[in-house]
Amino acid sequence: MNRMKLLLGDLASVAFMPVARLSPPACRVLVYHAVGSVVPGDHKRIYSLSPARFERHVRWLVSVASKTTALDEGVRAGRGIAITFDDGYRDTLVVAAPRLVRAGLPFTVFVTREHVENGVAPYLSCDELRELAALPGVTIGAHGRTHRRLTDCTKRELDDELTGTRAWLSDLLAKPITTMSYPHGAVDGRVRDAVRAAGFTVAACSKFGAHHAGDDPLLVPRTDVWARDGACRLAAKVHGRWDWMALRS
């Protein structure tokens, strides 16, 4: 059997493996963007799921609900499936949240300060963000002040994007903010250390992969969910079948 056949055989066996039997245990962090509205600049509509498709994802996630976890707990334990949303779209509150809360599935939303302050569609306003933060199972995290690539920032700019945004968000929601995600997935050693210095304990990347116990909690891989992903592809992604995408970034 040649190497390609071996590889395909491995992929097939993983595809049909129940989530509970994934080995070694790992935390799989899913990242959604918009559900219903259109992500600005997303001309190919990759990151704008339809509500109907999202509903099918929720049904699949409910079928593995015992494996779902809040992000910080999943990262700490190195197991489970965590649901996250980037950018803070208004439809996270009005479309996604009601379905997830009804299903009892915890999730984390990473918001950009300027988007919230401006409160202009398609993003959440301050009041809407407070409403979202008050829902059961919801964690709010930071996603920079301006949504620029943190790797392009000077030390002073980094401080504003990280420490300043964390303090602003903590004041707005009257609760500690300990999680963040890197805008555009842009991170290097300097940015990672600045995130730690700013007081974050969990930081999520955009690189495909799974987080294992003992891995760096400030470089947590995530798995992108796309508009055309059906429930089968979502399951395949959770099983790691799309982790080869990490080689592309």
Task: Tell me, residue by residue from 164 to 183, as one string, x for binding to Zn ion by CB under 5 A and - for no binding.
Answer: -------------------x
As measured in angstroms, the least distance from the Cβ of 55 to Zn ion is 23
Spatial distance between the Cα atoms of 82 and 74, rounded to a whole number of angstroms: 7
Residue 161 within binding range of Zn ion, rule CB under 5 A = no
Instruction: Between 146 and 201, name the residue whose CB sits nearer to Zn ion.
Output: 146
Which of 86, 91, 161, 229 lies at the binding interface for Zn ion (CB under 5 A)?
Answer: 86
Instruction: Between 133 and 204, name the residue whose CB sits nearer to Zn ion.
Output: 204
Which of 72, 87, 91, 229 lies at the binding interface for Zn ion (CB under 5 A)?
Answer: 87
As measured in angstroms, the least distance from the Cβ of 4 to Zn ion is 36
Instruction: Between 183 and 221, name the residue whose CB sits nearer to Zn ion.
Output: 183
Task: Tell me, residue by residue from 33 to 72, as one string, x for binding to Zn ion by CB under 5 A and - for no binding.
Answer: ----------------------------------------
Instruction: Between 183 and 217, name the residue whose CB sits nearer to Zn ion.
Output: 183
As measured in angstroms, the least distance from the Cβ of 110 to Zn ion is 7
As measured in angstroms, the least distance from the Cβ of 21 to Zn ion is 33
As measured in angstroms, the least distance from the Cβ of 13 to Zn ion is 35
As measured in angstroms, the least distance from the Cβ of 164 to Zn ion is 18
Spatial distance between the Cα atoms of 59 and 72, rounded to a whole number of angstroms: 23
Instruction: Between 86 and 161, name the residue whose CB sits nearer to Zn ion.
Output: 86
Binding segment toward Zn ion, per CB under 5 A, in 86-94, 96-104, 150-158, 223-231? 86-94
Total of residues contacting Zn ion (CB under 5 A) = 3
Q: At what angle do helices 51-63 and 231-238 cross, to 10 degrees?
A: 50
With helix as H, strand as E and coil as C, how does the chain read? CCHHHHHHHHHHHHHCCCHHHCCCCCEEEEEECEECCCCCCCCCCCCEECHHHHHHHHHHHHHCHHHECCHHHHHHHCCEEEEEEEECEHHHHHHHHHHHHHHCCCEEEEECHHHHHHCCCCECCHHHHHHHHCCCCEEEEECCCCCCCHHHCCHHHHHHHHHHHHHHHHHHHCCCCCEEECHHHCCCHHHHHHHHHCCCCEEECCCCCCECCCCCCCCECCEECCCCCCHHHHHHHHCCCCHHHHHHC
Q: Tell me the pairing of strands 223-224 and 107-111.
A: unpaired
Instruction: Between 87 and 224, name the residue whose CB sits nearer to Zn ion.
Output: 87
The answer for residues whose C-beta is within 8 angstroms of residue 118's C-beta and 6 or more apart is none
As measured in angstroms, the least distance from the Cβ of 31 to Zn ion is 9
Residues near Zn ion (CB under 5 A): 86-87, 183
